[in-house]
Structure 1
């Protein structure tokens, strides 16, 4: 199992947030699960550029950290669904605020991305 080389500092709430919710798709996964997209295939269709392996790993981490629950249905064809926990529900207003901020500042942020070489491939 992977172990970080530097110890995790948890001196403030932002550090907890960063450690537990740092991941390319985590906030989007929480948001889409709140929008009633519960199955991994539905989430994959909504975020088509997400690597399925990465998305599955981040879903597992969200379950481990208590933001979502995983329900497994033992049917002939096994089925999995996700739902938000109380902790995940409490995260939603923050996600919606961040999304609104991104929309309100889209022009400025696009200009900033144009200047940054790591965003060359972004259209």
Structure 2
């Protein structure tokens, strides 16, 4: 974090980089679901409203960013599983913190 000319904390590109990797409507929810290994169909059912095309796209982006690993098993019919990589696992504390913040936010909002 850097200070701007008025001595206020200014978020830098590190935060922007994080948002770029996990931002958007679906990625954090996909990561949440991948706290345990899942197959494509399980992910699709766990995320109401996401299309097959969007899930495929988001999983590919997360895979390209090193967050998700796609494991294909050589069998018929093909079996494909998705899981967090070690780098993806490091996002768990961030998701837990987001959960805690959301709980507090909803409690205050509903007072």
Q: TM-score, normalised by structure 2?
A: 0.80
Return structure 1 stretches of 4+ with deviation > 4 angstroms: 107-110
Consecutive unaligned residues of structure 1, counting only runs of 5 or more, are: 1-10, 111-123
The residue correspondences of 1:74-89 to structure 2 (distance < 5 A) are 74-89=74-89
The residue correspondences of 1:32-111 to structure 2 (distance < 5 A) are 32-34=33-35, 36-108=36-108
CA RMSD of aligned residues (A): 1.8
CA-CA distance at 1:73 after TM superposition = 1.3
> Structure 1's 109 and 55: CA in aligned 2 closer, same or farther, altered over 3 A?
farther
Q: Which has the higher strand share?
A: 2
CA-CA distance at 1:93 after TM superposition = 0.4
CA-CA distance at 1:12 after TM superposition = 2.1
1:21 aligns with 2:22: yes
> Structure 1's 37 and 47: CA in aligned 2 closer, same or farther, altered over 3 A?
farther
